[in-house]
Amino acid sequence: MSWWIALLAVAVGALVWRHLTVLFFSWTDEQIHFYVAHRLAQGAVLYRDIDSARPPLVLLPLEWLIKIGCSPLVAGRALVLGTQIATAGLLFWGGDRLASRRVGLLAALLFLSSPEVFARVHYTGIHLAAFSVTACVLFALMERPLLAGLCFGLTVAADQHGLVVCGVVAALTVARRPRDAGPFAAGAFIIPAVVFGGVWIAGGRHLWRSLVGIHLFHLRLGQGVAGQFWSSFTPWLYEHLYLLAGAGLAVALLRPSSRVVRVLLLVIGVHVAVVLLMKESVFLYVAVIAPLVTLLAALGFDAAVARWPWRRARPRLMVAALATLALTAGGWAAARSYREGLDQRPYAFLPHLLHGEVMRAQQLDVARWVDRESMLPGSGTIFGDPTIVSVLALRSGLRVSGELADLNPVWVEGGSVSPAEIVSRIERDGVAAVISPPFGLVNDPYFKSYLFACYSKPRPFFPPETGPGSGLPSFIMVFDHLQGRIPCSP
């Protein structure tokens, strides 16, 4: 037992080190959530004064931490680290209850040391979904429908990306024992009723438009996923080949007799299938099932050790261990090669280090760069690429025009938000500059004519050629509003 404790302590220490070494903004969506939570801490009402496509439990914990004095960045990363450790504890408890103490310890260790956890340090809300989904599956397997339903409700209020898994769990619960439908439904209703009801009472009248209406285009299934999805999913598969091998062992050695394995396979398979069918799906959606994959792998590795005891099958176990090491090394080498081919820069062999190098290459210190060139307006509001303007707003004290910090370019392309509505909102809010407008807007004739009519010639700013930030995908364009024409229209 002491060896297990030592290994888990090393894994937790390494994960804390990872968080500390990348405590800066990168090219991710987390700063969008930070800005929205920051505005909530200043008194804005969610889904009334400021829009967000994220459910309340992604934003409200951030708001509370900011109110007690944490910076948005520290608050978000602390929530990520805490959720990761809590998920490992949940896997330990679930593995211990459903199989054995060894399975629980191994599942926790595999999860904490996986490349997925070291890569997923940014606050996107997906960690909350992974935790609640894992809890929902475990409680269902233990035949505790009320608690499983509560976790279903927690997923609804925290992140919609886990609803497929929870939906499968709900169907399995009812099919296995129909009388459990009542407790499960009651649990699933309680948390959303409290959370969404509280937001509605506080004044958030745009709940449907922000959380459901904006995402409806995702329901167009059968169109497949884009190349951007595979550019992330392919190296992820390479990096986690050893976990997939463990899952394969679980299927080969336990599936006929183990309900746990059958259920885990079903929920993982259905979730991945739906993600692959969704219109404009992104790789982040797959991360929800990472804890379940590690639990399945732990069951497989434990089953192999139990089937071939060390004293009687030492050569066979040695061969299996060497094969697993070779598979792991080969997968990590393939992942590094794939990433180097995409980014045209060298990376470390260990994915735990590689992802830190990617984050540093995509370090988004645009506030310092742009301030140095005096490219920000002295007053008014700013609009543009949400990833960029949210950082600028947090660092400079300026506000995002029309409270559109959480504007996904895909929504413009999908027709969920019209360019005319965007122009009307930012003009009413006194926009002073547009900074790298979202790609979907730049290609729209109406918005393009608006830029030409109402802004001066853009000033480009290029990220550094070497060092932190050199891997950012594009340069920054700053369009200054013609102040004599407010409000302005094409």
In a domain, 332, yes or no: yes
Same domain, 265 and 385: no
Q: What is the pTM of this model?
A: 0.91
Of the candidates 390, 404, 377, which has an alpha carbon nearest to the alpha carbon of residue 479? 377
Does 375 have pLDDT greater than 70?
no
Residue 487 falls inside a structural domain: no
pLDDT at 47: 87
Q: Reading across the β-sheet that carries 459-461, which strands appear in turn?
A: 399-400, 381-384, 431-435, 476-480, 459-461
**What's the confidence (pLDDT) of residue 222?**
46
My answer on whether 71 and 184 are in the same domain is yes
Query: What is the domain count for the chain?
Result: 2
Among candidate residues 122, 134, 125, 131, the one with its CA nearest the CA of residue 84: 131
Range of the domain at 19: 2-355
Same domain, 18 and 158: yes
Percent of the chain with pLDDT over 70: 89
Half-sphere CA count of 394, side-chain side, radius 13 A: 27
The pLDDT of residue 84 is above 80: yes
Distant-in-sequence, close-in-space partners of 367: CB < 8 Å, separation ≥ 6: 391, 392, 394, 395, 396
> Does residue 423 form part of some domain?
yes
Question: At which of 301, 333, 355 does a domain end?
Answer: 355
209 and 250 fall within a common domain: yes
Rounded to whole angstroms, the Cα distance separating 462 from 476 reads: 6
Q: Count the residues in the chain.
A: 490
pLDDT-derived band of residue 134, with 50, 70 and 90 as boundaries? very high
Per-residue pLDDT at 477: 83
Residue type, 463: P
371: pLDDT strictly greater than 60: no
Burial of 257 from C-beta contacts in 10 A (0-12 / 13-18 / 19+): exposed
Q: Is residue 486 part of a domain?
A: no
Residue 282's pLDDT is what? 65
Q: How far apart are CA 463 and CA 372, in angstroms?
A: 13
* Res 258 pLDDT > 70: yes
Q: Indicate if 401 and 344 belong to the same structural domain.
A: no
- 351/378 same-domain check: no
Higher pLDDT, 19 or 418: 19
Task: Choose the most confident range, by mean pLDDT, from 326-335, 402-411, 456-465.
Answer: 326-335
Is residue 360 included in any domain, yes or no?
A: no
Q: What is the mean pLDDT of the chain?
A: 86
Query: Which of 355, 385, 417 represents a domain boundary (last residue)?
Result: 355
List the structure tokens of 4.
Answer: 């297990």
Residue 374 lies in a domain: yes
For the chain, percent of residues with pLDDT exceeding 90? 46
Quick: pLDDT tens for 28-52: 889 999 999 999 999 999 888 888 8
Task: Report whether pLDDT(89) > 90.
Answer: yes
Q: Are residues 460 and 432 in the same domain?
A: yes
Regarding whether 328 and 203 lie in a shared domain, the answer is yes
How much is the average pLDDT of 327-354?
90
| Structure confidence at residue 119 (pLDDT) | 93
| Whether residue 371 sits in one domain with residue 351 | no
In tens, the pLDDT along 106-128 reads 999 999 999 999 999 999 889 99
pLDDT of residue 372: 55
pLDDT attached to residue 454: 87
Domain boundary among 355, 389, 423: 355
pLDDT of residue 221: 46
pLDDT tens-digit readout, 393-410: 888 888 988 888 877 766
Q: Confidence class of residue 137 from pLDDT cuts 50, 70 and 90?
A: very high
- Specify the pLDDT at position 416: 65
The verdict on 35 and 68 lying in the same domain is: yes
Report which of residues 327 and 459 the model is more confident about: 327
Cα dihedral 320, 9, 120, 279, rounded to 10, equals 50
Whether residue 394 sits in one domain with residue 302: no
Q: Which residues of 102-113 are buried (b: 16+ CB within 10 A; e: fewer)?
A: bbbbbbbbbbbb
Reply yes or no on whether the pLDDT at 57 is more than 50. yes
Domain annotation covers residue 157? yes
**Does the pLDDT of residue 370 top 50, yes or no?**
yes
Mean pLDDT across 215-231 = 59
pLDDT band at residue 467, thresholds of 50, 70 and 90?
A: confident
Question: What is residue 28's predicted lDDT score, i.e. its pLDDT?
Answer: 85
Q: What is the pLDDT of residue 225?
A: 52
The pLDDT of residue 220: 53
HEC states along the chain?
A: CHHHHHHHHHHHHHHHHHHHHCCCCECCCHHHHHHHHHHHHCCCCECCCECCCCCHHHHHHHHHHHHCCCCHHHHHHHHHHHHHHHHHHHHHHHHHHHCCHHHHHHHHHHHHCCHHHHHCCCCCCHHHHHHHHHHHHHHHHCCCHHHHHHHHHHHHHHCHHHHHHHHHHHHHHHHHCHHHHHHHHHHHHHHHHHHHHHHHHCCCCCHHHHHCHHHHHHHCCCCCCCHHHHHHHHHHHHHCHHHHHHHHHHHHHHCCCCHHHHHHHHHHHHHHHHHHHCCCCCHHHHHHHHHHHHHHHHHHHHHHHHHCCCCCCHHHHHHHHHHHHHHHHHHHHHHHHHHHHHHCCCCCCCHHHHHHHHHHHCECCHHHHHHHCCCCCCCCEEEECHHHHHHHHHHHCCEEHHHCCCCCHHHHHHCCCCHHHHHHHHHHCCEEEEECCCHHHHCCHHHHHHHHHHECCCEEECCCCCCCCCCCCCCEEEEEECCCCCCCCC
Residue 343 lies in a domain: yes
**Are both 44 and 111 inside the same structural domain?**
yes
- Is pLDDT of 238 > 70? yes
Average pLDDT over residues 281-296: 86
CB atoms within 10 A of CB 382: 25
Check if the beta carbon of residue 19 is closer than 8 Å to that of residue 116: no
